[in-house]
């Protein structure tokens, strides 16, 4: 039985970095489920269609083969892809099409890993409701917009602070108000507000929580002393 860690939260909350580091620390496989929605959003845009077009989005989702390396496409990291992702993500048929791949990843992680860390918006509530440990990573919208701004500028992408903040608010609204699998913490999730924490502090909190829920120590599968 694979150990499953669910990490959810809004955009730029730091959940992706946290998930990656936690997977490494415990020797688990990691799936950034946002990249699935980004890939579907980009596929729709590339086909010259509108990401809000439910039929086009559903078709792109059923046609997606994440095993083919498509999730590594750098174009998925753009803001254009993020906005398209949050539109296709509101389509129930898209979520349904992506469900099986995510659940399979959790139950039989690639590389025979003993566990999987999945990060997204609905991992603890819908995809893996019986995950061994659930984290909901969040931060104020201003802090998150600031982090995203630094990330964009670090990648040499010019960005206007007020635009980044508005985009963040628009995506938050779409993600938390949609009818299907809206962004919200699971009842049994540990809510980690990183507004006043740096990456190291957030990581230490997360690792401590995962260790306490699974009985695993960060460096492997030894039980905690």
Does residue 124 interact with ligand CDP by CB under 6 A? no
At residue 39, the 3 state secondary structure works out as helix
Cβ nearer to ligand CDP, comparing 81 with 113: 81
Q: Which residue has the tokens 């299907």?
A: 180
The tokens for 118 are 């999945």
Task: Report the residue number, 80 or 132, with the smaller CB distance to ligand CDP.
Answer: 80
- In the β-sheet with 190-193, what is the strand arrangement from edge to edge? 29-32, 115-120, 3-8, 133-138, 190-193
Which whole-number Å values give the CA distances from 73 to 138, 187, 221, in the listed order?
A: 26, 34, 33
* Minimum CB distance to ligand CDP smaller for 202 or for 216: 202
Nearest-angstrom CA–CA distance, 56 and 52: 8
Residue 16 interacting with ligand CDP (CB under 6 A):
yes
Rounded to 5 degrees, what are φ and ψ at 16?
A: -65, -50
Query: Smallest gap, in angstroms, from Cβ of residue 153 to ligand CDP?
Result: 16
Q: How far is the CB of 205 from ligand CDP (least distance, A)?
A: 19
Q: Hey, which residues between 171 and 210 contact ligand CDP (CB under 6 A)?
A: 171, 175
The position carrying tokens 């779409």 is 174
Name the pairing type of β-strands 133-138 and 190-193. parallel
- Shorter beta-carbon distance to ligand CDP: residue 32 or 205: 32
- Nearest CA-CA partner of 205 in 196, 125, 121, 116: 196
Specify the residue, 59 or 171, whose C-beta has the smaller distance to ligand CDP. 171
Q: Interface mask (CB under 6 A) for ligand CDP, residues 41-80, using x and -?
A: ----------------------------------------
Q: Quick one: which of 5, 18, 33, 210 contacts ligand CDP (CB under 6 A)?
A: 33
What does 54-80 look like in DSSP terms, one character per residue?
HHHHHHHHHT--GGGTGGG-GGGGSHH
* 103 to 122: interface string for ligand CDP, x by CB under 6 A: -----------------xxx
User: How many amino acids of this chain bind ligand CDP (CB under 6 A)?
Assistant: 16
Question: What's the closest the beta carbon of residue 222 comes to ligand CDP, in angstroms?
Answer: 31
Interface contacts to ligand CDP, rule CB under 6 A: 11-12, 16, 33-34, 37-38, 82, 85-86, 89, 120-122, 171, 175
């Amino acid at each position: 039985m694979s150990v499953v860690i669910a990490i959810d939260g809004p955009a730029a909350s730091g959940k992706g970095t946290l998930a990656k580091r936690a997977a490494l620390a415990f020797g688990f496989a990691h799936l950034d489920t946002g990249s699935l929605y980004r890939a579907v959003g980009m596929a729709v845009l590339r086909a010259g269609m509108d990401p809000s077009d439910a039929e086009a989005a559903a078709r792109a989702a059923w046609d997606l083969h994440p095993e083919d390396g498509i999730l590594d496409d750098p174009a998925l990291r753009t803001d254009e892809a993020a906005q398209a992702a949050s539109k296709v993500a509101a389509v129930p048929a898209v979520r349904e099409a992506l469900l099986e791949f995510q659940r399979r990843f959790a139950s039989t992680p690639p590389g025979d890993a003993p566990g999987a860390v999945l990060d997204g918006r609905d991992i603890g509530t819908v995809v893996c409701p019986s995950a061994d440990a659930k984290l909901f990573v969040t931060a104020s919208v201003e802090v998150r917009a600031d982090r995203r701004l630094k990330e964009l500028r670090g990648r040499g992408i010019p960005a206007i602070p007020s635009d980044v903040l508005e985009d963040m608010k628009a995506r938050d609204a779409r993600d938390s108000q949609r009818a299907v699998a809206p962004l919200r913490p699971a009842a049994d999730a540990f809510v980690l507000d990183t507004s006043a924490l740096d990456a190291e502090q957030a990581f230490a909190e997360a690792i401590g929580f995962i260790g306490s829920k699974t009985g695993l120590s960060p460096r492997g599968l030894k039980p905690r002393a």
